[in-house]
Amino acid sequence: MLTWYGKTSVRDSFMNAGTTTHHFIAKNGRDVLFRPPRWEDLDDLLGFINSLVEEGAEILRNQEVTRDEEADWLGRKLADVEKSKVFWLVAEVGGTVIASSELKIGTGYSRHVGEIGVGVKRGYRDVGVGTELLNALISHAKTIGLELLTLTVSSSNTRAIHVYERIGFEETGRIPNRLFKNGTYRDQIIMTKKL
């Protein structure tokens, strides 16, 4: 069951960094809080990305990030959020960031398009966190009038592909051999969802 808090405007409640925006009970019984990120999340976000790199998760990055690199990235990302270029949510369990998601809003002739990205830390997958984050991004995209959502995913990430298909994304393109990991080439799949 989903419980929303804050203002009636989804956009206002999501963009106010001090506001709890959404929380739900995951399939594993954990209370998960979705909220906008803040500068104080620096160390959590650093631990999050480096945990994904360390496990060899299906992400583009293959080297750990330094604290300075993460601080530079976080500063740029928070500035993009402030300028409404990006809609960004993190998921928190017990005060620790366990997932991150974003909706990058197109510009110019692509201003009706949003590009989605979601990452979930090991130990919190397959319990609904990723799906709920995707649903929150889709809801926000509709609220601000976007018409099309896109994402990219490695062809080897069958778990994520299944989730994306289940919520209405379809494969609309493929870049052969775009990724090289563990001695094998993998395609990068482009998926889209009309709103």
What CATH number is associated with residue 69? Answer: 3.40.630.30
Instruction: Give domain status of residue 101, yes or no.
Output: yes
Q: Could you tell me the residue range of the domain that residue 68 belongs to?
A: 2-145
Percent of the chain with pLDDT over 90: 82
Instruction: Give domain status of residue 194, yes or no.
Output: no
Percent of the chain with pLDDT over 70: 90
Query: For residues 73 and 59, which has the higher predicted lDDT (pLDDT)?
Result: 73
Instruction: Give domain status of residue 154, yes or no.
Output: no
Whether 27 contacts 128, CB under 8 Å: yes
Instruction: Give domain status of residue 126, yes or no.
Output: yes
What is the model's pTM?
Answer: 0.86
Instruction: Give domain status of residue 181, yes or no.
Output: no
Residue 19 is predicted with a pLDDT of: 52
Question: Could you give the CA distance from residue 139 to residue 141 in angstroms, rounded to a whole number?
Answer: 5
Instruction: Give domain status of residue 58, yes or no.
Output: yes
Closest CA to 36 of 92, 115, 93: 92
* pLDDT tens figures, 143-162: 999 999 999 999 999 999 99
> If you count them, how many residues does the chain have?
195
Kindly indicate the confidence band of residue 23, based on its pLDDT and cuts at 50, 70 and 90: confident
Average pLDDT over residues 87-109: 95
Whether 184 contacts 155, CB under 8 Å: no
Instruction: Give domain status of residue 60, yes or no.
Output: yes
* pLDDT tens figures, 119-145: 999 999 999 999 999 999 999 999 999
How many CB atoms neighbour CB 124 within 10 A? 18
pLDDT(22) > 90? no
Closest CA to 187 of 107, 134, 179: 179
When divided into structural domains, the chain yields a total of 1
Average pLDDT over residues 45-56: 94
Instruction: Give domain status of residue 157, yes or no.
Output: no
The angle at the Cα of 45, spanning 162 to 118, to the nearest 5 degrees, equals: 20
